[in-house]
Amino acid sequence: MTKNNPFCEITPELEHLSELSAKCSVIDPELYSKYDVKRGLRDINGKGVLVGLTEISDVCSTKIVDGVSHPADGELYYRGYNVKDIIAGIDENSHFGFEECTYLLLFGSLPTKDELKEFTNMLSKYRTLPTSFVRDIIMKAPSRDMMNTLARSVLTLYSYDDRADDISLPNVLRQCLQLISLFPLLSVYGYQAYKHYHDGASLFIHPPKEEYSTAENILHILRADSKFTPLEAKLLDTALILHMEHGGGNNSTFTTHLVSSSGTDTYSAIAASLGSLKGPKHGGANIKVVKMFDDMKKQVKDWSNEDEIADYLTKLLHKEAFDHAGLIYGMGHAVYTLSDPREVILKRFAKALAEEKGRMKEFALYELVESLAGKMIKEQRNLQKNVCANVDFYSGFVYSMLGIPQELFTPIFAIARMPGWSAHRLEELTNANKIIRPAYKYVGHHTEFETMEERSAEKITDEDVKEEPEKCKKEEKGKK
């Protein structure tokens, strides 16, 4: 398709211009050290530069002993509550944990029974797309990338909102609650449209059910028969909780703060956050994990053989297997070193679902890789700190067991993270009255302006001057 589509053709002219662009874009790496630039807004030890304050969540990976910071098992807190305790405290028969945590993140306290009922009713009421939106927007020119579809739909909703540019807190809250409610529909319907028009799959659009939770509705509208087990709904609800917030410094949430500080509308701010999350360095990592394991299953004959697994992992680190990137996907985190609390919790639920689905052999493979990979990375990379599995390690496996296609892995992340982005947008608008504007130091040079005639005239370079005497000698010799 690309070869025959002039819209996306890379011409020789573009190749030439891109070389010119690359040539003038290179910055000497030593200059970053010279001017003490914290690349990636992180110091030499990987610690994030402090750029803001928040009361929404806390990401902890160390403990202080005798005034000295030491690595510790990771902990994640939502509004002061340990996520581990939140999940343990939710009724085992309830699939509305995501809604409880959404209330907590937005309003600062856990809801009572009556408050939760009123809140879920409000979300259910907002879970309705504008008239003909599916036909006129989602079904038209469906994209192969569901994050693109989701962002486009969010930006289009601006046109349906009579108060789109009103950034008063009540109106922003209304917009955020609507988007929280609509994200599952926009994502799954976009996927159904793509599969129908591009792959010829049967098209079905199930309307959401008022009495269902977010997790239940996702499974309901995704599956042709709308059927799911309580464990499936519980596991998806838990996965959503674990992905809904992770501090203000992660790339997409910082994007929310950054763009919100300009005073722009909610739809534009959230579309920007979606653009950030779409990046493979941020929201698409679990897809890489699943594909890595698919390759591993083909290359390794005995999934229980520790030596065979270790040999494959060594090839990964030496850029001799899978995508030759030298990475074991799902391992390592910018903050957590000993353990990622989200991974610990999700692993427990993943095992329960693997038993229900008859996929314990695969779970055992994941578990074996997890036990080997961290040590191997630390030894072969000569690292001082430990390397643990992160939440992406098991999340893709969980989604695959739930029958969620890979195209929806990152949109599921977005559905989960929307309450977190909403809380941070509200926090930014409440507390900040300055646009976020960090500094970039100019390290180029100043030069005199040249007129068009001067720029177009033939240039005489130093090489030309050196070559001229030789040229004259040859010409004199020729005359003789």
328 with 391: CB under 8 angstroms? no
Q: What length does the chain have?
A: 480
Q: What is the DSSP letter of 389?
A: B
416 with 240: CB under 8 angstroms? yes
DSSP-based helix, strand, coil % in the chain, nearest 5: 60, 5, 35
Q: Of 84, 394, 408, 414, give the one whose Cα is nearest residue 244.
A: 414
pLDDT at 467: 66
Which uninterrupted H or E stretch holds 73? strand 68-78
- Catalytic member of 95, 265, 392, 424: 392
Amino acid in the structure at residue 259: V
pLDDT at 458: 81
306 with 372: CB under 8 angstroms? yes
- Catalytic member of 243, 246, 257, 333: 333
pLDDT at 464: 64
Q: Of 95, 373, 85, give the one whose Cα is nearest residue 235.
A: 95
392 noted as active-site residue: yes
Strand-pair category, 57-65 with 81-82: unpaired
Whether the predicted model's global pTM rises above the 0.75 cut: yes
Q: What is the DSSP letter of 207?
A: P
Alpha helices in 43-130 (DSSP H): 83-89, 97-107, 113-126
pLDDT at 113: 96
361 with 303: CB under 8 angstroms? yes
pLDDT at 273: 98
187's torsion region: left (phi>0), alpha (psi -120 to 50) or beta? Answer: alpha
Burial of 35 (0-12, 13-18, 19+ CB in 10 A): exposed
145 noted as active-site residue: no
Alpha helices in 158-284 (DSSP H): 169-199, 214-222, 230-243, 251-260, 266-278
Token pair of 374, please?
Answer: 């961290």
Chunked into runs of 10 residues, the chain (480 residues) has average pLDDT values of: 79 96 95 94 87 96 90 97 97 95 98 98 97 94 93 97 98 98 98 94 96 98 97 97 96 97 98 95 92 97 97 97 96 94 97 97 98 96 93 96 97 98 98 91 95 87 64 56
pLDDT at 293: 97
pLDDT at 205: 95
Burial 175-214 (b: 16+ CB within 10 A, else e): bbbbbbbbbbbbbbbbbbbbbbeeeeeeeeebebeeebbb
Helices 392-401 and 409-431: angle between axes, nearest 10 degrees: 130
Establish how many alpha carbons lie within 13 A of residue 276's alpha carbon, considering only the half-sphere containing its beta carbon.
20
Q: Give the span between the Cα atoms of 350 and 397, in whole angstroms.
A: 8
Which positions ≥6 away from 97 have C-beta within 8 Å?
86, 87, 90, 237, 238, 240, 241
pLDDT at 477: 59
360's torsion region: left (phi>0), alpha (psi -120 to 50) or beta? Answer: alpha
